[in-house]
């Protein structure tokens, strides 16, 4: 072996054979653990998980809860079933990454799941049944034996946002630093050469098992941390006579466990909360990468900072979501988060050409609400007609989310497409026409309540414009799902979120408010199908839904555009101030903070600097941000009694918050942290409204 002329070091750059499609940031696959004896202790029927795989390369996992006559389905990039072994995962998911690693790429394999779902079994395994990490090392050893090169490894543990070396345990934690080239350096993490399989097994199994053995004791079970193995590969490319340094990181993440149902003793509550928070942060990074977002929140925790070196938009990393074969809340949470992060929706398109009128190729966005979407019934090819996403109620008294009986005409197919483009799981979704009607009705309500130029009204207007544009496209023969309409369309999802949040706020406005608030309240809270009825009337008068509807919407949006051209001000009367106090922006959608309390001079400068819409948007962002900050400050400082006075906070949650503060003086730094309390977005909105009412 001649000495190589150049050395290239690990970059998270994809190097795949040309015949394979480019990989996305992080591939999200599922693995269902085989049924174990301990699962039979579970009261629910074990045969309730089912997987439907499509030729298009994705899988829908459905959990059937017979007792509640309910099915929940989640879509992932792929799923390995109970009878599929680790070797199959290795061949299909890991082996294709190794070429890249040997050519200087960095990548990562993450084992994610609820507690006891088989993460360690898959990532680490045992000497008798090696997991993915040992299999990879064996494969790399044999490859570099042929081509030349060397291997070394590091093991680390991430505990409570501190990283520790496992091979050479020491007091000081490992520091995550960035060098001049903005590459991550792990200061204090030892590296040991790996020259043989036995070398590796000795260090890996015995090193790791000091912390976590196959047979975990009760005490060990309480120690919850993320454990990682980094394999460094220095390989020589004989063709170019260059040497490459690539890395692959295997992380056995700590298991997710719902803090509310925790069986652990109290001292472990905050540990659980921290583990859950770090998992949430990691999943946010995966989501941002797969959604191709500009900002990837690597800096949220030590774990995500460390990961910055290994996962990027083209790293081809794999997140293996380990699933228990029985339905439980933790499993559905985990698979929901994974489904949300995989963003498969952006990969597909709907072909609505005449040739394929009845063929809806793909349904569904991974909804931000844990990846659930509503069921869509259509006659499609085998495996593509997936009753997907869904909380699908069956049996007596159950109300399906989709409306049946109208057939699945091309028009509804088109609408179905539109619905999936703009919808958001929750109150405001039930078909595009209903959506139009809802939007229109909310728009009218918003205008009455807040004035035509309020931020909310503007947002609603934007939404209507989008729907209108989409309706226009639908009249063409082929409609392609544009990222701007789905998933990446922050515009759309923001508005949908606002719509969702608007309803409780409109409901919450007291009847003593001026104008038509009472009638608005009636309109919002009376018959949930009223909006739909309005819309159906609209459709029935012509017999044709889309053209008239889109015209109407365009008309409304044009009038609103005209209105919004006027100079806007949100420093208006008391009643609007009351609204401002009540209005809470989507708590899950943090925006760049802008000082809202501008003095007069600043205000004048600000007025000159951009369009009225920009100013309004910026101001409302500042307002929302400062209201959110008020709420967080309240949660970080209020006493137990004050906390209990909030909507959704009882004795248990209040004690939990107080307890969180013992380990971290300010546990709620951003709205996402409130999720640690186990509240839904809606409940968080309600709770924040009640905080604003008290301050
Ligand atoms: N594919 C599998 N085949 C056979 N047994 C399995 C499989 N996956 C997991 N198990 C068994 O299930 C139990 C729990 O697995 P494991 O320790 O890997 O879970 P975990 O998700 O790492 O748990 P924790 O979150 O507590 O770290 C172990 O006894 C393991 O042997």
393-404 pLDDT, tens digit per residue, is 333 333 333 333
| pLDDT band, very low/low/confident/very high, at 379 (cuts 50, 70, 90) | very low
> What is the rounded distance in angstroms from the CA atom of residue 366 to the CA atom of residue 342?
8
pLDDT of residue 2: 41
Nearest-CA residue for ligand 1 atom 15 is 118
User: In three state form, how does the secondary structure of 278-306 look?
Assistant: HHHHHHHHHHHHHCCCCCCCHHHCHHHHH
Cα 383 to averaged position of ligand 1 atoms, centre (Å): 30
What DSSP element (H or E) covers 108?
Answer: strand 106-113
Position in ligand 1 atom list of the atom nearest CA 115: 25
pLDDT of residue 284: 92
Residue of 131, 260, 114, 145 lying closest to 208 (CA atoms): 131
Nearest-CA residue for ligand 1 atom 23 is 116
Position in ligand 1 atom list of the atom nearest CA 212: 27
**Ligand 1 in contact with 91 (CB < 6 A)?**
no
Nearest-CA residue for ligand 1 atom 1 is 33
Nearest-CA residue for ligand 1 atom 31 is 121
ipTM for this model: 0.96
Cα 117 to averaged position of ligand 1 atoms, centre (Å): 6
pTM of the full predicted structure? 0.54
> What is the rounded distance in angstroms from the CA atom of residue 159 to the CA atom of residue 164?
8
CB 491 within 8 A of CB 563: no
pLDDT tens digits, one per residue of 69-81: 777 888 899 999 9
**Ligand 1 in contact with 159 (CB < 6 A)?**
no
For the annotated binding site for ATP, the residues are 113-120
The tokens describing 127, both together, are 């000497």
| pLDDT band, very low/low/confident/very high, at 357 (cuts 50, 70, 90) | very low
Position in ligand 1 atom list of the atom nearest CA 82: 1
Residue of 605, 587, 599, 606 lying closest to 671 (CA atoms): 587
| Bridge partners, residue 235, by sequence | 149, 244
Question: How distant, in Å, are the alpha carbons of 56, 161, 340, 466 from that of 350?
Answer: 13, 43, 20, 18
pLDDT of residue 5: 42
pLDDT tens digits, one per residue of 181-234: 788 899 999 999 999 998 899 898 876 655 543 333 334 445 578 999 999 999
pLDDT of residue 158: 93
Question: Lowest-confidence range among 169-183, 226-240, 430-444?
Answer: 430-444
**Ligand 1 in contact with 324 (CB < 6 A)?**
no
Count CB atoms within 10 A of the CB of residue 308: 19
**Ligand 1 in contact with 36 (CB < 6 A)?**
yes
The tokens describing 694, both together, are 């008290």
Start-to-end C-alpha separation, the chain: 73
Position in ligand 1 atom list of the atom nearest CA 121: 18
Count CB atoms within 10 A of the CB of residue 589: 18
Nearest-CA residue for ligand 1 atom 4 is 34
3-state secondary structure of 120: helix
| pLDDT band, very low/low/confident/very high, at 608 (cuts 50, 70, 90) | low
Cα 596 to averaged position of ligand 1 atoms, centre (Å): 51
Question: How distant, in Å, are the alpha carbons of 104, 191, 207, 443 from that of 168?
Answer: 26, 9, 9, 63
């Amino acid at each position: 072996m001649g000495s190589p002329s150049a050395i290239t070091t690990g970059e998270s750059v994809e190097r795949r054979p040309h015949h394979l499609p480019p990989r996305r940031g992080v591939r999200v696959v599922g693995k269902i653990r085989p049924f174990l004896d301990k699962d039979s202790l579970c009261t629910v029927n074990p045969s309730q998980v089912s997987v439907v795989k499509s030729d298009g390369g994705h899988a829908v996992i459905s959990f059937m809860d017979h007792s509640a006559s309910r099915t929940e389905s989640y879509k992932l990039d792929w799923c390995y079933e109970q009878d599929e072994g680790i070797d199959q995962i290795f061949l299909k998911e890991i082996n294709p990454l190794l070429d890249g690693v040997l050519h200087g790429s960095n990548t990562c394999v993450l084992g994610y799941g609820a507690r006891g779902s088989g993460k360690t079994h898959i990532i680490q395994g045992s000497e008798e049944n090696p997991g993915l990490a040992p299999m990879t090392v064996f494969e790399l050893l044999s490859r570099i034996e042929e081509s030349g090169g060397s291997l070394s490894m590091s093991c680390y543990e991430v505990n409570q946002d501190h990283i520790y070396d496992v091979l050479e345990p020491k007091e000081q934690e490992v520091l995550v630093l960035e060098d001049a080239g903005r590459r991550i350096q792990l200061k204090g993490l030892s590296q040991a050469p790996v020259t043989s399989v036995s070398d590796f097994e000795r260090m890996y199994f015995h090193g790791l098992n000091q912390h976590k053995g196959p047979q975990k004791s009760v005490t060990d079970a309480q120690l919850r941390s993320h454990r990682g193995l980094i394999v460094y590969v220095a390989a020589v490319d004989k063709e170019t006579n260059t040497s490459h340094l690539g890395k692959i990181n295997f992380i056995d993440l700590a298991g997710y466990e719902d803090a509310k149902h925790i069986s652990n003793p109290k001292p472990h509550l905050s540990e659980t909360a921290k583990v859950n928070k770090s998992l949430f942060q990691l999943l946010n990074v995966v989501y941002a990468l797969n959604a191709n977002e500009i900002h990837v929140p690597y800096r949220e925790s030590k774990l995500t900072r460390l990961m910055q070196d290994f996962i990027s938009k083209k790293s081809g990393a794999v997140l293996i979501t380990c699933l228990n074969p029985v339905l439980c809340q933790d499993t559905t949470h985990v698979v929901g988060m994974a489904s949300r992060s995989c963003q498969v929706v952006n990969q597909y398109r709907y072909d609505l050409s005449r040739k394929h009128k009845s063929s809806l190729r793909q349904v569904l966005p991974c909804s931000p609400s844990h990846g659930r979407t509503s069921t869509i019934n259509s006659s499609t090819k085998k495996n593509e007609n997936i009753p997907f996403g869904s909380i699908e109620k069956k049996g007596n008294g159950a109300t399906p989310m989709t409306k049946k009986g109208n057939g699945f005409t091309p028009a509804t197919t088109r609408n179905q497409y539109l619905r999936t483009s703009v919808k958001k799981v929750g109150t405001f979704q039930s078909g595009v026409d209903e959506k139009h009607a809802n939007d229109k009705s909310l728009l009218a309500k918003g205008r009455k309540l807040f004035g035509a130029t309020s931020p909310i009204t503007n947002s609603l207007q934007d939404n209507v414009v989008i729907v209108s544009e989409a309706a226009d496209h639908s009249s063409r023969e082929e409609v392609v799902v544009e990222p701007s309409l789905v998933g990446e369309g922050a515009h759309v999802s923001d508005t949908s979120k606002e719509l969702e949040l608007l309803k409780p706020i409109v409901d919450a406005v007291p009847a003593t408010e001026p104008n038509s608030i009472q009638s608005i309240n009636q309109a919002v809270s009376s018959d949930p199908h009223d909006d739909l009825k309005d819309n159906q009337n609209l459709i029935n008068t012509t017999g044709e839904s889309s053209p008239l509807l889109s015209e109407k919407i365009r008309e409304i949006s044009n009038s609103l555009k005209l209105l919004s051209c006027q100079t806007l001000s949100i420093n208006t009367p008391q009643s609007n101030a009351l609204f401002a106090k009540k209005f809470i922006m989507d708590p899950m959608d943090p925006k760049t903070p802008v000082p809202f309390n501008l003095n007069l001079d600043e205000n004048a400068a600000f007025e000159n600097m951009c369009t009225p819409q920009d100013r309004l948007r910026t101001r409302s962002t500042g307002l929302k941000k400062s209201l959110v900050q008020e709420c967080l400050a309240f949660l970080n400082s209020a006493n137990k009694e004050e906390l209990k006075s909030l909507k959704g906070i009882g004795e248990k949650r209040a004690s939990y918050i107080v307890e969180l503060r013992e380990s971290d003086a300010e546990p709620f730094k951003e709205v996402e942290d409130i999720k640690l309390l186990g509240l839904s977005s809606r409940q968080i909105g309600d709770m924040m409204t009640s905080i604003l009412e008290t301050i």
